Every structure is written in C-alpha cells, then in structure tokens.
A = this chain, B = another copy of it.
C-alpha cells in the first residue's frame, strides 16, 4: 500500500484578527484577511485587517519597514485579501473599545492573496448602499458586522435548540422534501416529475403528516429544523422558503407540550441571551386575548388593556356609540398633556385605510382633575368620571376610545394600543415577555367560500368537552391548540392532534372534503390511524422569526443568509429564470403565455 503524509509547507495564518492582545506582544504572527481601511500619513501607514473574528491594526513605517513592503502597503485597497507576517507590538494610542486595541502588527512581509475592485457600497456597519444593491451583492453585504452577528446568533440558536431537544430524548428525523400537493392551506410549490409524465411532487408547507406518521411508528419524541415552502403572494417580511423548528410528541397532553417547549425557550434565553425566566410563562385564552388586546398575539410587555365601555356610553344619546356593536377604550398613562397635533396624529393613525377606524374619541383627565373630551356635547363630567373609573385612569392620563363592529374595532384598538406602547417606550426589544395563548377556536368561518376552515390545520383535535357542539355549533368548538407569543410576535404554535380515524374523517367532512377527496389526499394518514395510533401532539416554531426576536429586529430577511425579495426573486443569482426548451420537453411541459 502506498501511504504518505504530506509535509506542512505553508500556513495561511497563525491567528485570526480578533484574538491578539497585550499577552502576544513580541510574538511573530501571520494573518490572512481583508483590508477594512487604510490610513496613509506619508511616513506611516495603518491598515485595519478584518476577518470574521475582528479587526487587527497593521503598521508600516518608512525607514523601518522594508522599502518593498512599504511600497506594497501603499497599493493595497479596500477589501483586498492580504497575508502579512510581523511582530505584535504595543500600540502608542490604545483603543479600549476593541479587543485587539492594545496592540498592532509591525509588518515584515506582505503578500496580496487576491485583489479587489471597489465594492458598490461601503462595507461598514453604516453602509451607503440601498437595499436593492445590497441584495444583488449579498455576498458583500454579508461581510458587514450587522449581518454577520445575526448569522452567528442563528448558528448558536440552532445548536442550542438541538442540544436541548437531544438531551430531552427527542430524535431528529428527516422527512422528505418531494412530497404530494394538497389543496388545503396555502399554495404549494410543485416539482414536475420527469419519469412520471404529467405528475408532480410538491414541496412541503410543513412536515405535518410525516411527523404524525412518525408518532404512529412509535418515535415518541421527534424534532427537525426544516425548510418549509409556501407559494404565497409575498407580503413584507414573508419568504417563500423559511425554517421551522418542527416537533411532535406521543403519549402526552397539552400540558406536557407547553412545559417542554417553555423549557426550550427558557434554555435559549439563558444560553444565548443570558436571561433567566424563573416563573412559568403567562397563559391566556384566545377569548381573553381578543377581549383584552384585540389580538391573538398580544404584546404583554405593557398593560393598557381594553375596557368595554358600551354599558356606560349607552346611558346617553350619542348615536355613534349607541349604534356601535362595540365601544372600547384604553388608558394612556400620563398623556393628558398631548398637544392638538399629537392627538390629530393619533386620529390620522387610526383612520388610515389599513386600520380603518371611523374616528377617535379621546378624554383628557387633566392634572387638575377636570375632564375634557371630544364628546363633551353628549357626555357630562360625571359620565366621563365613570369611564375613568372603568379605565382606571388617574389625573394626567389620556383615554382613547374607538367604536364600531366588534372585530374591526378591537383590531383597530389593538393597533392603537401598540402605537401608544411604541410612543411611550414600552416596546423595548431587549425586554422579553413570553406568553402562551391557548384554547383557540377549532374552526373559522370563511365568508368567501361559505364554509368553515381549520383555524390551525385539519388534524387539530377539538376539546373533548366541546365535541358535542361539532355538528350543532361548530364555530363555538374550542381546540387543543396553542401559540407561543413573545412581545406580540407569534413565534409558533401547535395542537393536540386527532388520533382517531373516525373523528379525523368527521373533521374532513366538516371542512367540506368529500370522502373521496379526503381519501385521495390524506388516505395514508387515515389508514395509518387504523393500525394503532397513539395520542399525540406537537408544535412548530418559526426559526427565522425566533432568531429575529433574539436579535431585537423585526425583519426575518436580516437573519437569512440568502433571502429572496418581495417578488420571490433571488436578486443575486437572478432566479427564477427561464430554462432550456429541452428541459421543458423532458418534463412533458410547455409554457402557456397568458394574454
């Protein structure tokens, strides 16, 4: 046998750019990295060298540095990749703000590993590049610390998620990506099959049915960090492909799931953010969340809960309130001094088409105890005092009131509450307020289709105590379904599943499936339930959203290495794109141009 081990001839670097400090003074080192910037003061040149780990300052001095190296140093530009050898020396002007700020490298040799042309925007924390150009040159944008830090955070979170679940006995099991299209739910991306003419795979919107089958197979704790796909008309901050922490457990109840994944969230907060939650997460029913916050994902970093005022407002003959299905208000502490301009901007806010309130009623509870409202014509001070008591308003506070149909008004009041929370600084991204919202409705009425849709998905089980209403009042049936909400963002959700073949078939019927449709689309699952299915349930957390939350930002695009734009296009690789006719032929497809 011919065995050999090559000798090490050459080493690109002995250290990276984030680690050298006063302890290394006097050492000879080799670094390979990018030129962040260069300052040429004639006799002295300083270069900041950058890699993933940090910055290290290089110094070249005329007369001290060899003339060839000094000349080379004059020529290297931004983003050149260079290798330098030199000695670590103490800096004269130390920079206490950077880990390597006590030292610099007195360079003895310099080699250009690769030149760089001028980037189309500056590779700095504050860049001059607009979003479009940065998407096109994503590989340059990813050099910026702000993106780099988020991808490192994402990596840490992914490792900790797996570590925690592995230790809890979960098995990571990969489910297929080439599956089957189902019309229920969002639109599928499909993949034409070359070998089966006219047939298609679909990319999974989630591994839902597969993880349930794994429960039937006896793998009682499953998880996966997995890409999912939805061909939706993209709204801001939606991506056609996204990552899910997908989990399922058997022989459990809702309480076990909530405890397990509350444990996961606490583990992540502790390991990654250094935040310890010693108390159980808050819990709230869906009904309460809607009543008190007008949202199924309330931001509970602050109070400002809704108070229904209809009984009080009906005492007088103000037609706007009296004809309204719902009158509700919130109390903005210490805002009685709002100027006319500020109050007008709130009215403008709630009457925007996206929010859609007809108008805003406010009551100032002045510091001197007097009350001043936009409805003084209809309500006297005694009435307003009653409202103040209901809203727990004190002198100095501002009461904001909306009226109209219940759902729309609660929704608008939710937006107003969030806006006020923002203005009052209650929505600090470094404060985390997790919440379980439970007891979601099983079904929601779809006015367009004139039928019920599954609020979560068709496999969610009704609460046993509500099953008797399934036929008579399906809209009132609550599900064993729950969402994890942090700071007003739905991080994920799940449910206890149906594990009974007959109940599952009844559910499909309620959702408008014919028995044939149910069998052709989900026959394998209905069949599987006949061979001994255990009670089971699970949840899925949006990993992109979780990372963004931990990073304190709203946009998931910032925590994805290569995201697509709002038109579902990868600007960098210019995809989607036309394919060869030969490829289409092989797939037995032709493109039909629309008028």
Contacts and interface: CB of A to CB of B under 8 A. Distances in A.
Interface in A555-595: 560-562, 564, 567-570, 572-580, 583, 585-594
- Within the oligomer, what is the number of copies of this chain? 2
Nearest to A77: B532
A200 B576 contact: yes
A528 interface: yes
Contacts of A213: 138-139, 562, 572
B177 A594 contact: no
Contact of A282 (B3, B193, B560): B3
Nearest to A560: B174
Contact of A533 (B114, B219, B252): B114
Nearest to A254: B6
B139 A81 contact: no
A116 B530 contact: yes
A180 interface: yes
Interface stretch (A183-191, A267-275, A313-321, A377-385): A183-191
Interface string A248-286: 000111110000000000000000000000001011110
B579 A181 contact: yes
A573 B564 CA distance: 30
Interface stretch (A148-156, A330-338, A358-366): A148-156
Nearest to A209: B573
Nearest to A589: B589
A240 interface: yes
B197 A255 contact: no
Contacts of A229: 177-178
Interface stretch (A96-104, A158-166, A345-353): A158-166
A486 to B, nearest CB: 15
A92 interface: no
A194 interface: yes
A591 B499 contact: no
A575 B586 CA distance: 19
A241 interface: yes
Interface stretch (A8-16, A368-376, A419-427): A8-16
Given A173-B151, A181-B579, A113 B535 contact: yes
Contact of A190 (B227, B573, B583, B590): B583
B590 A175 contact: no
A305 interface: yes
A568 B195 contact: yes
A52 B531 contact: no
Interface in A80-108: 80-81
B179 A187 contact: no
A154 to B, nearest CB: 8
Nearest to A225: B174
Given A191-B190, A191-B191, A81 B533 contact: yes
A470 interface: no
A218 interface: yes
Interface in A25-63: 32-34, 50-52
Nearest to A582: B183
Contacts of A562: 175-176, 210, 213
Interface in A540-566: 560-562, 564
A533 B593 CA distance: 41
Nearest to A226: B227
Contact of A140 (B34, B166, B531): B531
Among A219, A243, A529, residue most surrounded by chain B Cβ atoms (within 10 Å): A219
A186 to B, nearest CB: 12
Nearest to A171: B155
Among A190, A193, A532, residue most surrounded by chain B Cβ atoms (within 10 Å): A532
Contact of A592 (B159, B280, B588): B588
Contacts of A219: 52, 142, 148, 151
Contact of A593 (B137, B178, B198, B568): B198
A286 to B, nearest CB: 11
Interface in A185-223: 187-203, 209-210, 213-214, 216-220
Contacts of A578: 198-200
A132 to B, nearest CB: 15
A196 B114 CA distance: 38
Contacts of A560: 174
Contacts of A177: 177, 203, 227, 229, 241
Given A10-B253, A197-B593, A219-B151, A284 B2 contact: yes
B577 A200 contact: yes
16 contacts: A52-B218, A79-B532, A81-B534, A113-B534, A114-B529, A114-B532, A119-B531, A139-B216, A155-B166, A155-B173, A159-B172, A162-B162, A176-B562, A177-B177, A181-B583, A189-B191
Given A6-B254, A177-B203, 9 more contacts: A3-B282, A12-B251, A34-B534, A139-B217, A139-B531, A142-B217, A155-B166, A190-B579, A588-B591
Interface of A: 1-6, 8, 10, 12-13, 16, 32-34, 50-52, 79-81, 113-117, 119, 137-140, 142-143, 148, 151-152, 154-155, 158-159, 162, 166, 171-181, 183, 187-203, 209-210, 213-214, 216-220, 227, 229, 231, 233, 240-241, 243, 251-255, 280, 282-285, 288, 292, 300, 303, 305, 499-500, 524, 528-535, 560-562, 564, 567-570, 572-580, 583, 585-594
Leading 8 A-B pairs by shortest Cβ distance: A116-B532, A142-B217, A199-B576, A180-B575, A12-B251, A193-B576, A79-B532, A198-B591
